[in-house]
Amino acid sequence: MKIRSILILLIISAGFQLKSDEIVLPTIGDTLSGIVSTQQEYRMGQSWLKAFRSQVREFNDPLIKSYLENLLYNLATYSELDNPKLEIILIPNNTINAFAVPGGIIGVHTGLFEYAETEDQFASVMAHELAHLSQRHFARRIENNKDNSIAGLAGLLAGLVLASTLGGDAAMAAMTAGQAFAAENRLRYSRANEKEADRIGLKTMKKANRDPRASTQMFEIMLKKLRQYGDRPPEFLLTHPVTEKRLADAKSRTINEPRKFYESSLTYHFIRARVKALTSNNLKDLKVEFTNDITKGYNTELAAQYGLALILSKKNEHEEARRVMNELLTSQPDQILLTYSDIELDINATLMSRAFKKIDNALSRNPDNTALLSLRADAFWKNKEFQKSAGDYRKLVSQNPSVPHYWYQLAEVEGLAGNIRDVHTARAEYFILIGSYEKAEDHLAIARRLSSGDFKKNATIAQRINELKSMQADAEKI
């Protein structure tokens, strides 16, 4: 594979160091310091993202992803980002973690939902990550080190791949002593960045009319989690070093803030329950937890009912799941999240005719809703209506061209529908998004041969092959 960032990851994993004369950083307008520009930062981030996606499985629930995007873009409007073009990756991992990568990429572990008890606590972490991006901390580290951009990005890739696939403590154990030392040096510089991100993130929270004390609450949750370790992990190996001093700093910044009521988000509680229901390996215990939570207050009660309905549906207890969901819909008829999940229950119970009627009604009221369109595509697939499913997935990739999951699903359903040429063009786009350029080129070559009698399609594929070669050349320059 010719992706530079993947090769670097392999080099680092083998314990080698890059030489400074191997690093090329072209300057492209609007530079922070003459060393790296916003355009170069974006290109580096996209290369990083392809490398990351080639090794780490994403969590592809469209409802949760849609919620995250809405929350993040809302916060971004109050942040100091000049160009809030963001890309979100959601990782199925039960550890508390979120991270920002140059180029507008923000990653979130599903475990963050478990530990952030309110939307404002969760938002405080997102505001912090947005601050890393708006203050261009990665570019400033390049300025500080002069020759460490590629190695730094590769180290970031290596660390986050380990953390995302193994979890925090296992990732630490997997790193060599040399890698640990390199990580420590990077974090020594980044602690100043962390302090600045805390301060700027707090400003974003205030502008967004969110509880500024939520960040302090989140730090307390993180510290409590860290204290559960028998041997406390070295702070320099934690993605976000959390100390009592950092907690004290957060408290001092909000000590004079007026006390006021901040309404709790019911939607966040629903999403939090959904994450638990979809990621839990112990549905029996989670069912007990949700059953107990039904008596603990309004938002908690409704969210617990919602989570219980999802679990009952997963366990094929369809009649009981329907009873619980109907109670929720009676009290919350306008919650599109519940509308979506109500249809899910029908699909799981193979009540397809009823499901399609509900989907069509929901889409007539929300025609641009990506989650609903994705749900209908999956319903068509389950109902063996492959051409209709392929049609919906074509709409999804048109609206969301940078989401690998939709291209992967489109390729699969095109195959089931017998559209062989389109299988290869969709697979090519999927492989481009995860940086497997050689595989993408192979699939485009096959698609072009299958289009020999279609001049227009053949020309389109030929143009895409040329674009692919340019992508490869660009990736090798970074």
User: Which residue's entry shows tokens 């500024």?
Assistant: 212
Which tokens hold the place of 15?
């314990």
Closest CA to 201 of 98, 99, 75: 75
CB 342 within 8 A of CB 329: yes
Per-residue pLDDT band at 40 (split at 50, 70, 90): confident
**Rounded distance, CA 341 to CA 390, Å?**
22
Does residue 48 sit in helix, strand or coil? helix
Residue 208: per-residue pLDDT: 96
Q: Please give the pLDDT value at position 411.
A: 98
pLDDT score at 182: 52
pLDDT single digits (tens) 384-418: 999 999 999 999 999 999 999 999 999 999 999 99
Give tens-digit pLDDT for 112-122.
Answer: 999 999 999 99
pLDDT at 43 over 90: no
The residue ranking higher by pLDDT, 45 or 76, is: 76
pLDDT digits (tens, 9 = 90+) for 168-188: 554 444 444 445 545 445 444
Residue 95 DSSP symbol: S
Distance CA 233, CA 113 (A): 22
Apex 70 CA angle, 404 and 382, nearest 5? 45
List, for residues 222-266, the tens digit of each pLDDT value: 888 777 655 455 443 455 667 778 888 888 888 888 888 888 899
Please state the domain extents for the chain.
Answer: 4-254, 264-349
E strand or H helix that includes residue 91:
strand 87-91
In angstroms, the Cα distances linking 268 to 252, 313, 337, 477 are 28, 21, 11, 42
Please say whether the beta carbons of 380 and 349 come within 8 A. no
Polymer length of the chain: 478
Residue 157 to residue 49: CA distance in whole angstroms:
9
pLDDT of residue 32: 46
Q: Which two tokens stand for residue 292?
A: 């107990």
Whether 131 has a pLDDT exceeding 80, the answer reads yes
| Bridge partner residues of 105 (DSSP) | 87, 101
User: What pLDDT is stored for residue 4 in this prediction?
Assistant: 41
Cα(363)–Cα(474) distance, integer angstroms: 40
Average pLDDT over residues 330-357: 96
Looking at every residue in the chain, the average pLDDT score rounds to 83
Alpha carbon distances (Å) from 121 to 114, 126, 139, 306 = 11, 9, 28, 21
**Residue range 198-226: average pLDDT?**
91
Task: Please say if the pLDDT value at position 203 is more than 90.
Answer: yes
Tell me what pLDDT residue 212 has.
93
Tell me the DSSP string of 115-158: H--SHHHHHHHHHHHHHHHHTTHHHHHHHHHSS-HHHHHHHHHH
At residue 154, the pLDDT reads 66
* Per-residue confidence (pLDDT) for residue 219, from 0 to 100: 87
Q: Model's pTM, two decimal places?
A: 0.86
Residue 134 has pLDDT above 60, yes or no: yes
pLDDT at 211: 94
When mean pLDDT is compared over 1-15, 243-257, 438-452, the highest value belongs to 438-452
Which uninterrupted H or E stretch holds 83?
none
DSSP designation for 89: E
Amino acid letter, residue 317: E
For residues 460 and 23, the model is more confident at 460
Mean pLDDT of 105-132: 94
pLDDT at 229: 59
Identify which has the larger pLDDT, 292 or 478: 292
CA torsion sign for 89, 108, 80, 123 is positive
Tokens 């559960």: give the residue: 228
Assigned token pair, 316: 């094929």
Q: Evaluate if residue 202 carries a pLDDT over 70.
A: yes
Instruction: pLDDT band for 151, please (50, 70, 90 cuts).
Output: low
Handedness of CA 199, 126, 113, 206 (dihedral sign): positive
- Residue 211 to residue 209: CA distance in whole angstroms: 7
Query: What mean pLDDT comes out for the span 72-101?
Result: 91
Mean of the pLDDT values across residues 118-127? 96
